[in-house]
Amino acid sequence: MKRKTQIKSKLSVAFSTNFPEAYKKFTLKHVNERQGSPETVLAKPLTECKIALITTAGVHLKTDRPFDVDNPAGDPTYRLIPAAAQEEELTVTHIYYNTKFAKTDPTIVFPLPQLRELKDKGSIHSLADVNIGLNGGILDTSNVEQEAIPQVMALFENEQVDIALLVPG
């Protein structure tokens, strides 16, 4: 990580900690707030559903290329994380939140073991082998919206995912 990016990260974390309302307005200025019911209603019981995780916390396998946090526009790519991935195989690359605890325990932003427990208890049918790590520090979301998200949707459709559980970073 470049020195400039390290400084930017420290400033971002300090800004979000000390001025949370201003930070929220800055980071959510391009988001359209929705009111009312969810867009999709679950068509079958959870016990029959295949669940996939998708996070914007910058989670990826240690063997993957880290997200490009030096890119001023943000890294619009995604990383595939198999359902069998263990905590010690995961890491986090992100500059817009303090990743200290997420690097120590990635399950706080990517709860694969907890979903495996739910599967073992019969609370959900299965966990998808296609789980997604994104870096949420993207100021221009057009590349993600036009390229990465359609690709992720196709992966989820091919895997027959019923529910995508979003865990923000």
* CB-based contact 82:129 (threshold 8 Å): yes
43: confidence class by pLDDT, cuts 50, 70, 90: confident
- List the alpha helices (DSSP H) in the chain: 3-18, 20-27, 100-104, 112-121, 142-143, 149-158
What is the rounded radius of gyration, in angstroms, for the C-alpha atoms of the chain? 17
pLDDT of res. 99? 86
Q: What is residue 86's predicted lDDT score, i.e. its pLDDT?
A: 95
CA distance 55 to 111: 10
Model pTM score: 0.82
- The predicted-structure confidence for 137-156, as pLDDT tens digits, reads as follows 787 788 888 989 999 999 99
Domain ranges of the chain: 39-167
Q: Per-residue pLDDT tens for 60-90?
A: 999 999 999 888 888 999 999 999 999 999 9
